[in-house]
Amino acid sequence: LPETPGSVFRQDSAVCRLLPGLTKRQRDTCGRHRTAIGHVVKGLKAAVHECQNQFQDQRWNCSASHNGFAIAHLKVGSKETAYVFALSSAAVSRTLARACAQGVIASCSCGSYPKRIHKQFKWTGCSDNIKYANNFGRKFMDAADLDHADDARSMMNLHNNRVGRKAVSSSARRECKCHGVSGSCVLRTCWKVVPQLQEIAVSLRKKYFHAAKVFPR
C-alpha cells in the first residue's frame, strides 16, 4: 500500500488500478475520489496495527489477516474474520471523519451539529464528519460484497462492516472549550469528535469474545 495518504493518489490516477484486491466498483470509486481513498488506505493500515496490538497476547494475533484492500478474500467465515472486517470498517470511517474536519478532503467539511439547543453550551467549532465518513466507507468497503449480497459469507461481511461503522458513531463524544474571564467558563463551545482507534478496537474486542456462530438456513 502507498505510504502517503493523499499525495500519491492526487498525482496519478493509474495507482487505483495497481492497488491489490480492488473490485471494479472500488476502482471506479478510487478514480473519482483519489484523495479520500488515500485516507482509506491510512485507515486500513491503522487497522492492521491496532488489530495486532489488541491480540498480541492471544494464540491468534491478527497476523496475515490483511492484504491491502483484499480483506474480502479472507477465506474462513470465523469470528476472527468478523473482527477484522468490523475493525477495518471502523478505522476507515474514523480516519475519513477526522480528515474531513481537518479540511484535507475537498468533497467534505466539518460535521453537522445536533439540532437540539443546549443552555449549558453552544455547538460550534469543527466536528468530525461521521455522516460523510460512514456513507463513503459503506460505499467503498461494502462494494466487494454487494454483488453477492444473498450469499451467506457476503451477508456476514456486510453485517460486520455495519458493526464497525456503528462503533464509530456510538463512540463519538463531545469536546468543549470554556470561554470567560480567568477561566470562569461563562460560555462553553462544543463539537463532536471520534475517539482514538484503540478505544474502538477495545469495544469491538469485547464483541469478539462474545461472538456467536450463525449457520445459514
pLDDT in tens, 71-88: 554 666 788 889 999 999
Count the alpha carbons within 13 Å of 73 in the hemisphere toward its beta carbon.
10
Residue 103 pLDDT grade (very low, low, confident, very high; cuts 50, 70, 90) = very high
Average pLDDT for residues 47-76, to the nearest whole number? Answer: 73
Q: Domain ranges in the chain?
A: 7-113+127-172+197-209
Closest CA to 1 of 31, 32, 38, 28: 38
Instruction: Encode pLDDT of 165-198 as tens digits.
Output: 999 999 999 898 888 777 677 788 889 999 999 9
Number of other CB atoms surrounding residue 20 within 10 Å = 10
Residues ≥6 apart with Cβ < 8 Å to 211: 79, 82, 83
* Beta bridge mates, 104: none
